[in-house]
C-alpha cells in the first residue's frame, strides 16, 4: 500500500473562530456535543473498529489533538495518547468526559450493529464529523475484508491531507470594512412541564422522503424549510397555551445551522458553520401554516446571502481580535463568553433545528445500512433540539430533550406531519415505553 | 407494528405505550409482537448528575476571577505603600466576601440554607477580624448575637424544628440563657449580674408565657383571638419588666423595690383582671366582642 506523506500539527494550535465559544460555555446542561451514527445489518467488532480508528487518526492527524486551558485562550496541542473505542450507552450527546477519552475531542462508540462518532463542537461541525465517520466506516469495511467501499464527497485515505483541511476560513473571510451584524431581541423560550435532568432523551421520527418531499414541494419549500415551518408552527401552538395575552408573546425564532462549505467553497474539517435565524412574531396575531412557510422561505433565502454571512463573520471575528478580549486572562474571558453565548446565541432563538442533509451511501453499503442518526445536545434555555439526517429513502428527525416526561412539542410536531398525510414511525430511548 | 390511536404515528415493534402521548398500545386478542432492537443499548444507563449549570458555573468563575484580581491588586498596593503589616483585614474581608457570594450561588434555594450559610460566614468574618492577634473579645458578643438571630429567625423554619417543636423551644431558651451568661462573662470577667438579674427575669418571662399558653390552649375551640394574644403578651412583658426592675434594684442597692416598673406592673394587673373578667362573664364578653363569636 502506498504510504501517505503526512504532516502532523505541532505545538500550539489555535481554536477556530466559531470553536472559541464552546470550551468556556461547556457545562452539564450545555454539553456542546453532537453524534452521528450508522446502523448496519452486520455485527460490529471492537478490534476491527480500533484498527479503523487508528487509520482515521493516521490520515487526519489534525484530529489527534487535546484541549488545553491557556492563560489567554483555550488551545489545542497534539495528543500522543491511544484513542479509546467506547461501548455505546443509553443516552447520546451528553457532557463530554475528556479524561475518560484520553483527552480526545471526539469519541468513537459501538454497539451490536452501530458505529457512532460523538464530537465536542470545538473540533468540528456536523459535516466534518460525518466526513470522519465516513472514513472510519470505509476503513472498518477494509479491515473487515468487505469489498472496497468509498463514500462520495468524503476524505480519501490515500491522498495526503490538504492544508486547507485544518485551516480556519473565518480568518480568511474577515473584512474589517464590513459593518457588524446587529443583535436581535430576546425570543420566546418554552417553560415546559415537569422535571428535567441532564440525560438526553431521544424521540426519533422516521419519515419517508418521497412523502415529505411531495408536501414540501406543494408549498415551494425545501425539506429543511418544511421541517422548520412545522417546528415553528408547533412552538406557536405551545406559546398560545403558555402566554394567553397576545401582546406579551415574544418572537419565536429558530436557529438553523448552515454549512458554509458550499457557499464559500472551502474544504475545511474544522467548524465552518453559521446560524440562520428564522422566525415569526406571534404578537401580531396567529400565523397559519402557509404564512409561516412563506416567512421561513424568504428568511432562509435572505440568511444565505453572502453579504449577510460576511457581516456575521465580521462580528464574530472582530470580537476575537479585540485587544481587550485578546489580552484578558481566560479566567475573566470565560464568564464573559458565557454571557455572550446567551446574549448572541441561546437568548435569541426558541429552538435549534440542524439538518445534516442527505448522506449518499456507496452501492455496496445500501443493503447493509439499517439507519443513520444525528443527535445534537440540547441546552438549558432551549431544552429540546432537533437534528435531521437523510439516507436512502428515509429522513430521521431526532428530538433530543432534557425533559423527563414532557413530550408535548414532539407530539405536536409528529401529529402535524401525520395530519398532513406523512407516515411517521417513532422510536425512543425513554424508559417507560417498553 | 402498531399505531398510536391518538397520535396516528407508527410505533416500533414491542412498544407498550406511545412515547408521544403515553397511550397504551392495544393489540388484537391473541396477537403478540416481538420486540425490535432498542434505539440505544440498555445495559449502560448513566445516572443524571444534576450538576452545576452553565450560568452558575459562569458566575462562580466570575466571582473567583474578581477575587483573585482584587486580592492581587490590594496586596500589591499595600506592599508598595509599605503597609503590608495592616493587610490582613482588607485581604480577609475580600476572601470572606467571595465565600459569601459563592455560597449564595451554590446553596440550595431555601431560606434556611441561605440564612444559615450567611450567618456562619458573617460569624467567621467577625471572629477573624477580632482574632487577628489570636485574642477574641468583642467578636464573641457579636457572634453570640448572630447565634441568637439564627435560633429565633432561621432555626424555627428548619425541618427538625418543625418536627420537634418542644425541643426547638427548649434549645432557643437555652441559647438565650447562654448568650446572657456569655455577655456577662465577656464584659465583667465573671458571672456578676447574670444570676441575680437575668435568671429571675428569664424565669418570669418563661413562667408567664407558659401560664398563658396553658390558659389559652385549654379553652374551647382552637382559635385564640388576636386581642387575647396581644393583651397576654403585654401582661407577660410588663410583669417580667417589673421582675427585672426589682431584681436589678436588689442587685444594685440590696433592697427589693420597684423604681420605673411600678406603673408597668399596675398596668399588667389591670389588663390581667380585665382578661379574667371577660373570660368569666358572658355579659362582658358579649359587650366587648361580636355576638356570635365566643359563645
Joined together, the cell numbers standing for residue B187 give 464584659
Residues 108-137 of chain A with CB under 8 A from chain B are: 111-113
Cβ atoms of residues A224 and A387 within 8 Å: no
Please report, for chain B, the start and end positions of each structural domain, with discontinuous segments joined by +.
193-295
Taking the C-alpha atoms of residue A385 and residue A113, their distance in angstroms, rounded to an integer, is 25
Taking the C-alpha atoms of residue A377 and residue A109, their distance in angstroms, rounded to an integer, is 16
Indicate the range of A12-16, A257-261, A347-351, A387-391 predicted with least confidence.
Answer: A12-16
Confidence band (pLDDT; 50, 70, 90) for A432? low
Taking the C-alpha atoms of residue A54 and residue A82, their distance in angstroms, rounded to an integer, is 9
Q: What is the pLDDT of residue B54?
A: 62
Joined together, the cell numbers standing for residue A143 give 479491515
Res. A78: pLDDT tops 70: yes
CATH code of the domain occupying A196-433? 3.30.559.30
B114 vs A184 pLDDT, higher one: B114
Instruction: Please identify, in words, the CATH class of the domain defined by A13-172.
Output: alpha beta
Task: Tell me whether residues B65 and A332 touch, CB distance under 8 A.
Answer: yes
Joined together, the cell numbers standing for residue B140 give 464573641
Distance from CA of A145 to the nearest CA of B (A): 26
- Residue A36 is inside which H or E element, if any? strand A33-40
Query: Which chain A residue's Cα is nearest to B59?
Result: A335
Please report, for chain A, the start and end positions of each structural domain, with discontinuous segments joined by +.
13-172, 196-433
Looking at the complex, does the CB of residue B54 fall below 8 Å from at least one CB of chain A?
yes
CA atoms in the 13 A half-sphere facing the CB of A98: 18
Residues of chain B with pLDDT under 50: 44-50, 293-295
Mutate which: A90, A370, A425, vs B, most B CBs within 10 A = A90
Joined together, the cell numbers standing for residue A140 give 472498518
SS3 content of chain A, % helix, strand, coil (to 5): 40, 25, 35
Q: What is the pLDDT of residue B291?
A: 52
Question: If DSSP codes are grouped into helix, strand and coil, which group holds residue A37?
Answer: strand
Share of chain A above pLDDT 90, in %: 59
Q: What is the pLDDT of residue B222?
A: 64
Neighbours of B294 (CB within 10 A): 17
Distance from CA of B152 to the nearest CA of A (A): 34
Distance from CA of A291 to the nearest CA of B (A): 25
A401 vs B87 pLDDT, higher one: A401
Name the nearest CA neighbour of A62 among A149, A150, A155: A155
Looking at the complex, does the CB of residue B72 fall below 8 Å from at least one CB of chain A?
no
Taking the C-alpha atoms of residue B20 and residue B23, their distance in angstroms, rounded to an integer, is 8
Distance from CA of B68 to the nearest CA of A (A): 10
Task: Tell me whether residues A27 and B53 touch, CB distance under 8 A.
Answer: yes
Q: What number is the ipTM of this complex?
A: 0.82
Among B18, B40, B51, select the one facing A89 at the smallest CB separation.
B40
CA angle (A275 as vertex; A317, A273 as ends), nearest 5: 65
Q: What is the pLDDT of residue A284?
A: 94
- In terms of Cβ atoms closer than 10 Å to its own Cβ (0-12, 13-18, 19+), residue B125 is buried
Looking at the complex, does the CB of residue B48 fall below 8 Å from at least one CB of chain A?
yes
Confidence band (pLDDT; 50, 70, 90) for A430? confident
Q: Strand A252-259 to strand A196-208: parallel, antiparallel, or no bridges (unpaired)?
A: unpaired
* DSSP calls for A306-322: HHHHHHHHHHHHHHHH-
Sign of CA dihedral A82, A87, A88, A91: negative
Q: What is the pLDDT of residue A198?
A: 84
Taking the C-alpha atoms of residue A216 and residue A212, their distance in angstroms, rounded to an integer, is 6
HEC-encoded secondary structure of A179-218? CCCCCCCCCCCCCCCCCEEEEEEEEEEEEEHHHHHHHHHH
A344 vs A78 pLDDT, higher one: A78
pLDDT in tens, A23-73: 999 888 889 999 999 999 999 999 999 999 999 999 998 899 999 998 889
B42 vs A175 pLDDT, higher one: A175
Indicate the range of A139-143, A415-419, B182-186, B254-258 predicted with least confidence.
Answer: B254-258
Residues 317-336 of chain A with CB under 8 A from chain B are: 329, 331-332, 334-335
Q: Do the domains A196-433 and A13-172 match in fold?
A: yes
Q: What is the pLDDT of residue A434?
A: 52
Alpha carbon of A227 to those of A77, A379, A393: distances in Å? Answer: 39, 20, 17
CB proximity list for A314: less than 8 A, separation 6 or greater: A174, A175, A176, A178, A179, A180, A181
Q: What is the pLDDT of residue B281?
A: 80
Taking the C-alpha atoms of residue A27 and residue A21, their distance in angstroms, rounded to an integer, is 12
- Average pLDDT (A87-96) is 86
Sign of CA dihedral A119, A122, A126, A132: negative
pLDDT in tens, A305-338: 999 899 989 988 988 888 888 888 888 888 888 8
Name the nearest CA neighbour of A402 among A423, A368, A375: A375
Residues of A in contact with B8 (CB under 8 A): 415, 418-419, 424
Amino acid at each position: 500500500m502506498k504510504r501517505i506523506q503526512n504532516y502532523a500539527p505541532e505545538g500550539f494550535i489555535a481554536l477556530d473562530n466559531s470553536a472559541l465559544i464552546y470550551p468556556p460555555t461547556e457545562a452539564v446542561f450545555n454539553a456542546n456535543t453532537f453524534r452521528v451514527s450508522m446502523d448496519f445489518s452486520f455485527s460490529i467488532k471492537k478490534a476491527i473498529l480500533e484498527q479503523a480508528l487508528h487509520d482515521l487518526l493516521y490520515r487526519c492527524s489534525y484530529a489527534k489533538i487535546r484541549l488545553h486551558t491557556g492563560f489567554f485562550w483555550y488551545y489545542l496541542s497534539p495528543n500522543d495518547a491511544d484513542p479509546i473505542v467506547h461501548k455505546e450507552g443509553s443516552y447520546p450527546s451528553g457532557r463530554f468526559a475528556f479524561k475518560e477519552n484520553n483527552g480526545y475531542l471526539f469519541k468513537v462508540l459501538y454497539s451490536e450493529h452501530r458505529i457512532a462518532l460523538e464530537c465536542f463542537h470545538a473540533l468540528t461541525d456536523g459535516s466534518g464529523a460525518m466526513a470522519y465517520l465516513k472514513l472510519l466506516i470505509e476503513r472498518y469495511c477494509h479491515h473487515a475484508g468487505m469489498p472496497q467501499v468509498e463514500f462520495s464527497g468524503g476524505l480519501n485515505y490515500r491522498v495526503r491531507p490538504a492544508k486547507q483541511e485544518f485551516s480556519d476560513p473565518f480568518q480568511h473571510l474577515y473584512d474589517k470594512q464590513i459593518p457588524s451584524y446587529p443583535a436581535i431581541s430576546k425570543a420566546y423560550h418554552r417553560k415546559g412541564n415537569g422535571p428535567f435532568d441532564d440525560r438526553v432523551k431521544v424521540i426519533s421520527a422516521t419519515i419517508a422522503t418521497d412523502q415529505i418531499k411531495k408536501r414540501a414541494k406543494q408549498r415551494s419549500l425545501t425539506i429543511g424549510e418544511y421541517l422548520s415551518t412545522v417546528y415553528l408552527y408547533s412552538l406557536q401552538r405551545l406559546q398560545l397555551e403558555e402566554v394567553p395575552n397576545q401582546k406579551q408573546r415574544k418572537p419565536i425564532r429558530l436557529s438553523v445551522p448552515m454549512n458554509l462549505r458550499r457557499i464559500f467553497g472551502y474544504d475545511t474539517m474544522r467548524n465552518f458553520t453559521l446560524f440562520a435565524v428564522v422566525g415569526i412574531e406571534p404578537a401580531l396575531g396567529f400565523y397559519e401554516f402557509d404564512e409561516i412557510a412563506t416567512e421561513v422561505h424568504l428568511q432562509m433565502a435572505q440568511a444565505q446571502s453572502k453579504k449577510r454571512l460576511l457581516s456575521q463573520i465580521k462580528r464574530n471575528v472582530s470580537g476575537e481580535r479585540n485587544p481587550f478580549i485578546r489580552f484578558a486572562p481566560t479566567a475573566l474571558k470565560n464568564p464573559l463568553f458565557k454571557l455572550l453565548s446567551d446574549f448572541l446565541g441561546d437568548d435569541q432563538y426558541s429552538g435549534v433545528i440542524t439538518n445534516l442533509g442527505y448522506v449518499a451511501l456507496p452501492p455496496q453499503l445500501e443493503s447493509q445500512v439499517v439507519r443513520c442518526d444525528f443527535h445534537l445536545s440540547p441546552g438549558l434555555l432551549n431544552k429540546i433540539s432537533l437534528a435531521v439526517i437523510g439516507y436512502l429513502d428515509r429522513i430521521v428527525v431526532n428530538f433530543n430533550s432534557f425533559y423527563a416526561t414532557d413530550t408535548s412539542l414532539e407530539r405536536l410536531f409528529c401529529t402535524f406531519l401525520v395530519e398532513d398525510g406523512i407516515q411517521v414511525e417513532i422510536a425512543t430511548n425513554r424508559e417507560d415505553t417498553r | 407494528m402498531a399505531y398510536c390511536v391518538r397520535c396516528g404515528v407508527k410505533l416500533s415493534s414491542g412498544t407498550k405505550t406511545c412515547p408521544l402521548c403515553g397511550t397504551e398500545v392495544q393489540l388484537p386478542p391473541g396477537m403478540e409482537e416481538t420486540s425490535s432492537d432498542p434505539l440505544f443499548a440498555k445495559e449502560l444507563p448513566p445516572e443524571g448528575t444534576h450538576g452545576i449549570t452553565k450560568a452558575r458555573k459562569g458566575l462562580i468563575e466570575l466571582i473567583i476571577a474578581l477575587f483573585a484580581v482584587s486580592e492581587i491588586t490590594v496586596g500589591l498596593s499595600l506592599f508598595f505603600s509599605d503597609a503590608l503589616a495592616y493587610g490582613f483585614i482588607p485581604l480577609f474581608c475580600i476572601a470572606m466576601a467571595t465565600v459569601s457570594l459563592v455560597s449564595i450561588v451554590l446553596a440550595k434555594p431555601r431560606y434556611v440554607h441561605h440564612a444559615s450559610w450567611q450567618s456562619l460566614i458573617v460569624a467567621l468574618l467577625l471572629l477573624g477580624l477580632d482574632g487577628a492577634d489570636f485574642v477574641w473579645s468583642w467578636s464573641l458578643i457579636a457572634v453570640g448575637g448572630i447565634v441568637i438571630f439564627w435560633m429565633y429567625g432561621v432555626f424555627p423554619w428548619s425541618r427538625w424544628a418543625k418536627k420537634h417543636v418542644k425541643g426547638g423551644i427548649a434549645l432557643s431558651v437555652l441559647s438565650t440563657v447562654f448568650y446572657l451568661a456569655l455577655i456577662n462573662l465577656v464584659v465583667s470577667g465573671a458571672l456578676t449580674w447574670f444570676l441575680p438579674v437575668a435568671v429571675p427575669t428569664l424565669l418570669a418571662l418563661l413562667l408567664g408565657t407558659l401560664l398563658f399558653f396553658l390558659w389559652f390552649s385549654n379553652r374551647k375551640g382552637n382559635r385564640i383571638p388576636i386581642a387575647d394574644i396581644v393583651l397576654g403578651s403585654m401582661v407577660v412583658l410588663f410583669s417580667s419588666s417589673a421582675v427585672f426592675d426589682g431584681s436589678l434594684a436588689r442587685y444594685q442597692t440590696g433592697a427589693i423595690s420597684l423604681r420605673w416598673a411600678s406603673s408597668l406592673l399596675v398596668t399588667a394587673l389591670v389588663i390581667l383582671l380585665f382578661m379574667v373578667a371577660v373570660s368569666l362573664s358572658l355579659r362582658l364578653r358579649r359587650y366587648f366582642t361580636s355576638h356570635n363569636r365566643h359563645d
